[in-house]
Structure 1
Amino acid sequence: MKILVVGKGGREHALVRALGESPVAPEVFCFPGSDAILRMAKPVEADGLESLIEWMKQASVDLCVAGEESYLVTGEGLANLCEEAGIPCWGPPKESAQLEASKAFAKAFLERHGIPTGKASTVTTVDEARAAIAGNYPVVLKFDGLAAGKGVAVCTDEGMAEEFLEEVMVQRRFGAGDLLVEECLTGPEVSVFAAVIDDRYVIFTPARDYKRLGEGDLGPNTGGMGAVASRKLVSSEVLEQIEATIVAPTVAGLKKDGLPYRGFLYFGLMLTPDGPKVIEYNCRFGDPECQAVMPLVGGDLASFCLAGAKGEFAPELLRFDEGWSVCVVLASAGYPESSRSGDRIEGLDQVSRVDHAGTRLNAEGVWETNGGRVLAAVAGGQDRASAVAAAHAEADKITFEGAQRRRDIGILHFEEA
């Protein structure tokens, strides 16, 4: 079996590892990949989607796995081009990927199908945003487009709102796009992942990530500074409620709307006093949640994804560990406002499991930083405390100048446990 994973970050590093460890021992390729990923996967000679499709045809690739969301909505769309070429793709077509690419599209979908979510309105100007906020704080502001997990702000006062509006709607940090002004929901957050194959699905291990840069959930929003995953993260009763009120209606809604879907679907949820509600959809695995979840997925992931991409539902190919997994992210100096590259990384040879996100090999063959989020140290255990201790112990072994890290990953929000 030949598999191509599309992407280059920590999520793709974890996916390449998990797919490569499948019992069928697939030959794994990655595009564009990274120095770290290409130690586990073979490189691809392509310079864009069109040439990538041609390469897959010539190489007789059996399965394309979409990692990064941008490829699903760029140009004609990765999955759309794969379908035209007759290549099974684990990832939705462009029209379905609008669930992530457009917050307004997703909100309309949720409301149309009666799926619990916060109230929201879409605005196109700063003045319209101010009118929609109307002094009601806290409020959630969401850029209507892809923003690498950074286009959302929970604003507790006018100053925070004005700063975000200036950045997003005046300076256009994320490009052109509307803005959603949304009700601020309260409660614990949880990320639920489903592998969707047409009108059927299987729910993977739930996770919880930590978006803020600083300990105690302080500081600016980031792409994620760590995550914890376990089947025990939420009770079976709550998970059943999530499935009945959110997952199943979403899958049914996709079919009703004529939106084909074969791939991972991420549900960002808030467990409010009124029950679980959807914050957002992602049309791929989360990052860094993927790094925490993948060690808990057993069986034959490669064969499951290949069957799913062909429309065959084979949940018996998977099994899920009942323990806990924690990943701790180390970010570069300046992140998230900027990132510094070229800092030498020490201690990687002492770490059992680490997923590379922003690293590179320099001319001397030494690992150095090359991006905002640099690495994720990952470890597991049969209980949360042991997984947390192991993951932080692994992270302690890694050093580089200017490293930023949270030491409350897997601890904060569990004080009551």
Structure 2
Amino acid sequence: MEFTTNDVINTINGIFFHDFVVYALLLTGVIFTLCTGFGQYRALTHGVEVTRGKYDKKDDPGAISHFQALSAALSATIGLGNIAGVALAIALGGPGAVFWMWVIGLLGMALKMTEVTQSMLSRDLSDPDNPHGGPMYVVDSLFKKAGGRFGATIGGIFCITLILSAITGGNMFQAWNVAAVTTQYFDVPGLSEMENNNGFNPETFAIGIALAIIVGIVIIGGIKRIGSVAGKLVPFMCGLYLIAGIIVLLMNITAIPEIIMDIFKYGLGFGDASAGGAFIGGTFGYAMMWGIKRALFSSEAGQGSAPVAHAAAKCEEPVREGIVAGLGPFVDTLIVCTVTALIILATGAWNRSAETTFADDAPVSLTLDGAAWTLSTPALPHKNEEAKNTNLVG
């Protein structure tokens, strides 16, 4: 039996993103919410004040501000997951998936708040101007008290998996889409005619190199430069997207009330799946599972990436930085993802046999005919007629 790369990826994904893992994170979010007395909501305004620098002290250990730390964490979560991920959740789970995205967004705030608080308690302050922290430090300090190297081993494994996750899902996926969209719909002068039959595309290669250089310049500057750049770019890109989204929603304002009703109706299992027909699952279970999975993927709540960024914040109060981190899922899931979802639902873009958008030669129209999946390319203007007539059926 031959195994493709997709087979391997799907197998790994099935293990690490199994339904039990999702339920465990959901239950953990509920426990943390109850144990903190709904602290992520009660301290919401306090988190905003901290982010604005109201409680900043010059002698606090750290390298970047609270706002820069939050922006650095959000830079890893706001992106394709807020657009394509939301579209996929609605395509597979219907409008009800949005309801469960909201639920996990609210519980995800507790997850982020708790994991960052714990990380701040265990961060390495041997160099106060350049502290380090994250789940690996938490595990190491926890087991170090019991003796042995078990904590360091588990921490090392976590570091490896986090690096792999950041390189693949956090960078390669984003870069591939930028390159694919650019080469599909635009011509790069001097490179468009050089594509050969061996699959080598100089346009894609050039765009990838350019992105690597830009990102490399930022990363080489360390956490201070990362925080500085993220603190400028993240508010700009997020604000621009929200402004554009709100304009679209205002143009479809009359559809919003019905859409909100559908979100709650299908999310709670009261909707008529047979009447919906535009999404593949159309059931309460699909709506719940896909809503939760997409929200967890988008916000990275419980993944352990946010504590690494927040560990560099200038702060002497661990809980205070945890509260700031709790704002991440609020912005990412409850604001940005919600705007995307409302646009898709209000404009009727979702009601097309689970149509979604990918780039280049990837399939975008996904329909289920009996036991066979049918995939085809989008009805968008391509840069040549040959690409326009390309179809993939499987």
TM-score > 0.5, shorter chain as reference: no
TM-score class normalised by the smaller sequence: under 0.3
Query: Which has the larger helix fraction?
Result: 2
- TM-score by length of structure 1 reads 0.25
Query: Which has the larger strand fraction?
Result: 1
Larger Rg computed on CA atoms: 2
- TM-score by length of structure 2 reads 0.26
